[in-house]
Amino acid sequence: MKGDYLSVMKDILTIPEAATYCAVDRVTMWRWAKSGLLRTSVTPGGHHRIAKEDLESFLVEKGMYPLATKSFPRNRVLIVDDDPVIRKVTSEILSGYKYETETSADGFEAGIKVVQFKPDLVILDLIMPRMDGFEVCRYLKKDPTTSGIKILVLTGFDTEENREEIMEAGADDYLAKPVETDDLIRHMEDLLGI
């Protein structure tokens, strides 16, 4: 195996490549694969292959992510708000805290971005064109592939009714605008377990 492998990082790994990435020996990686702890696929020739995404999920779940590089992934945050100034400012603030951000102007676009960007957390406005925050929240929480994404609602329409409705729709937390940066970061860290 070439020494520059870690800088290249393929999407599908062999057992030896996965072992190198995790800084464990091949036998350990083989045991994880054979025991079913680690999701693998098998080629027609009987060789195990591991999707990088599955390996990283396994390492995060086991509290080992990623041993080989001694660094942690940046948490991904999708900012969904119809106000371009709020999207820009929030994105700049979060980037300063080492979050990887993406933005969306409405709920419909947010649905597309969730699939492409795969965020860990969605900061969601309630009142937007095309598809409002209530619909986005219900959609994300009812789909098993996105139900684990944390949803933090930031709204300028802070009413008891809105708060109750969005929490019933599955939101994980709720803040009224304007919000102080320290409060936003604290709530995000609580949701993400940081």
- Select the CATH number that applies to the domain covering 5-61 from these four: 3.30.230.70, 3.40.50.1860, 3.30.479.30, 1.10.1660.10: 1.10.1660.10
50 pLDDT more than 50: yes
Please give the average per-residue pLDDT across 32-61, as a whole number. Answer: 84
Tens digits of residue pLDDT in 61-98: 776 655 544 444 568 999 999 999 999 999 999 988 88
Q: Where are the domains of the chain?
A: 5-61, 76-192
Distance CA(106)–CA(131), nearest Å, equals 6
Structure confidence at residue 69 (pLDDT): 47
Sequence letter at residue 29: M
Structure confidence at residue 74 (pLDDT): 64
Tens digits of residue pLDDT in 126-181: 888 888 889 999 999 998 888 899 999 998 888 899 899 999 999 999 999 888 99
The reply to whether CATH 3.40.50.2300 applies to domain 76-192 is yes
Query: Over the chain, what is the mean pLDDT?
Result: 84
DSSP state letters, the chain:
--TTHHHH--SEEEHHHHHHHHT--HHHHHHHHHHTSS--EE-TTS-EEEEHHHHHHHHHHTT-TTTTTT--PPPEEEEE-S-HHHHHHHHHHHHHTT-EEEEESSHHHHHHHHHHH--SEEEE-SS-SSS-HHHHHHHHHHSTTTTTSEEEEEES---HHHHHHHHHTT-SEEEESS--HHHHHHHHHHHHT-
